[in-house]
């Protein structure tokens, strides 16, 4: 009868994808890093995230994160947070190479062998009911699982080596998803970036933050995209795009800057050297080379010719309405609304 109950427990754990596991990530500061006072090694940036978050993400359930020292008694640290779960998984926030597959293999091993304590090279798995009754762990055997994943960096040089390993895994993940890189050694991609199938990424491209790029795009060499959304079928040159959105089918030229929560609609053309800040551009808009938009609203089917400027203020936006054309070198000032289908002559200055 006892054996049947244990077998049933194992089956339920496997079917429930380990929902019956409580997870802990212990945050211990490694003084070998010689960081300034108030800085912790487990918070060091690693491809856009604090190092410990790479460990948190591989836990089968949302972990409890606890700051403690290396010398603290592990049981004393976690006991106040124990719940009625079958197993307690304890990891450390300085092993960022851990993978979900390895963690699941470890949990299966503990269940299959009915272990009360499974000591890892850096961490533990406990049977919760057992550790509720004890205060010390007496010389348990250490079990080894894909030991390279338990690598703990002790200085910035070792952290850089781990970053390279993680970067390689990120790039390989995108490649298996149908993304092509012109040079896999010439890109920097952070962990929260998503890229659609069929997209081609050029040399020296930097993709940071929660950037999302759609399908079948072309990201040109030296582009930098930070926490922005790029739709499908877009072409982006050597542009800087930060905290902004570009919709499907739009083309962004070289040396373009699109920043500060700007928006570019579908099927737009943004010419080389243009600057767009705190502005929105509706669909089918053509912006020629060297234009400047700040605190501006450009409505659909409009055209701005070379070096045109539409510059408003936060409390007095400038607007170019549907189908209007702004001539080369023209300037539209704060609070001005250029009417629909209007043609503003070259170098014309319009002030409110």
Are residues 332 and 271 part of one domain?
A: yes
Residue 196 and residue 120 in one domain: no
Residue 51 lies in a domain: yes
Q: Tell me: do 227 and 135 sit in the same domain.
A: no
Quick one: average pLDDT of 111-136?
93
Does 138 score more than 90 pLDDT? no
Domain co-membership, 124 together with 252: no
Whether 167 maps to a domain, the answer reads: no
Express each pLDDT in 315-346 by its tens digit.
999 999 999 999 999 999 999 999 999 999 99
How far is residue 18's CA from residue 85's CA, in Å, rounded to a whole number? 10
The answer to whether residues 184 and 151 belong to one domain is no
Sheet order of strands, 251-252 included: 180-181, 200-201, 218-219, 235-236, 251-252, 269-270, 286-287, 303-304, 325-326, 343-344
Pair (206, 66) in one structural domain:
no
Mean pLDDT of 203-227: 97
Mean of pLDDT values over 304-324: 96
Provide the pLDDT confidence category of residue 68 given band limits of 50, 70 and 90: very high
Q: Do 133 and 201 lie in a common domain?
A: no
Domain extent, residue 262, equals 179-350
- Which domain CATH number covers 64? 3.90.550.10
Q: Sign of dihedral through CA atoms 43, 47, 53, 55? A: negative
User: What total of structural domains would you count in the chain?
Assistant: 2
CB crowding 162-189: b at 16 or more within 10 Å, else e: bbeebbeebbeebeeeebebeeeeebbb
- On whether the pTM is more than 0.95, the answer is no
**CATH code for position 207:** 2.160.10.10
- Which pLDDT score is estimated for 17? 53
């Amino acid at each position: 009868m006892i054996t049947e109950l244990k077998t049933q427990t194992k089956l339920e754990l496997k079917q429930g994808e380990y929902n019956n596991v409580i997870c802990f990530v212990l945050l211990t500061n490694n003084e070998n890093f010689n960081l300034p006072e108030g800085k912790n090694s487990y918070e060091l940036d690693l491809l856009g995230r604090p190092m410990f978050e790479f460990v948190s993400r591989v836990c089968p359930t949302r972990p409890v994160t606890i700051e403690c020292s290396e010398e603290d008694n592990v049981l004393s640290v976690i006991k106040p947070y124990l719940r009625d779960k079958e197993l307690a998984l304890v990891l450390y926030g300085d092993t960022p190479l851990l993978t979900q597959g390895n963690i699941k293999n470890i949990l299966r091993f503990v269940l299959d062998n009915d272990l009360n304590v499974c000591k890892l090279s850096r961490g533990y798995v406990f049977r919760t009911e057992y550790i509720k009754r004890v205060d010390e762990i007496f010389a348990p055997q250490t079990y080894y699982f894909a030991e390279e994943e338990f690598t703990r960096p002790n200085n910035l040089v070792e952290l850089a080596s781990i970053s390279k390993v993680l970067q390689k895994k990120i790039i390989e993940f995108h490649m298996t998803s149908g993304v092509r890189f012109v040079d896999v050694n010439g890109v920097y991609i952070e962990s929260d970036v998503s890229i659609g199938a069929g997209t081609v990424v050029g040399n020296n491209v930097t993709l940071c933050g929660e950037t999302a790029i759609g399908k079948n795009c072309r990201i040109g060499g030296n582009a930098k995209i930070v926490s922005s959304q790029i739709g499908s079928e877009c072409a982006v040159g050597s542009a800087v795009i930060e905290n902004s959105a570009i919709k499907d089918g739009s083309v962004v030229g070289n040396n373009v800057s699109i920043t500060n929560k700007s928006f570019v609609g579908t099927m737009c053309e943004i010419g080389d050297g243009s600057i767009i800040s705190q502005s929105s551009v509706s669909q089918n808009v053509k912006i020629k080379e060297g234009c400047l938009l700040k605190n501006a609203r450009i409505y659909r089917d409009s055209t701005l010719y070379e070096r045109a400027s539409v510059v408003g203020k936060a409390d007095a936006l400038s607007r170019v309405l549907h189908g209007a054309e702004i001539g080369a070198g023209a300037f539209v000032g704060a609070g001005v609304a250029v009417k629909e289908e209007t043609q503003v002559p070259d170098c014309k200055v319009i002030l409110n």
